[in-house]
Structure 1
């Protein structure tokens, strides 16, 4: 496998791929245990991790939080249509949507609508407030359509 990074390209061998598979699931694994699992010694494993970090393949490590235990069980997907799709309008929308903490994901879409948002709130009333006061107030929003998730079958955090 190889990954292109802007103008730089990094070739990944089977050890790099093994490191990435393990770290994607267990980001807090020790270098010693990671080395044992992939069949290398600790020093080369650490050097490979550093190279993958420096190349931007590994972009960071984080804790996975359980949103349901945190009182954020309501998930809605929102199609957003803009009134203006020129570059300045898109940039204004992109910048403003970043400031809404309830928006977990925002994707520009090539479809009959312009953006798809994943919004997480405590309940439908909280979602209604976020939609009315924050999402609908974003720059150039002409309309929205909401789809409420009933169950997450597969969700990667």
Structure 2
């Protein structure tokens, strides 16, 4: 099966091009390889600030929009998000065990942050995607050491696909 990227677009503020998806898929493969992850599926959804605000409020108790949310399939929250997967005709329930989790990116936040940081929107979306992927694997940035480790891993993957500042 390999490491797979499944994506959907639930916003209308930015066209999601195949070039962007291909770039994110390459970043996923590189970050996955660096972490020894060769199997699984990552579901990526592009949303606007309103949608991510609602998710952030409902699942994290934070009443404001954020840039990226990650929901790992192996995490146990008090209240798991209700994520419904429809089986394709040739797909079996066992195939879902390879789902690593969901990453939701606010295109509104990504646009604003790319302007604030002075780099491309593609770079910011790539950063948020790899950041979300590392969260799916259990990385966090609660202290300076873990933040530095996570940042180093993100920057290494992004540099390999040409998404530098």
Q: TM-score, normalised by structure 1?
A: 0.21
Point out which structure has higher relative CO (alpha carbons under 8 A, 6+ apart): 2
State TM-score, norm by structure 2.
Answer: 0.20
- Which structure: greater helix fraction? 2
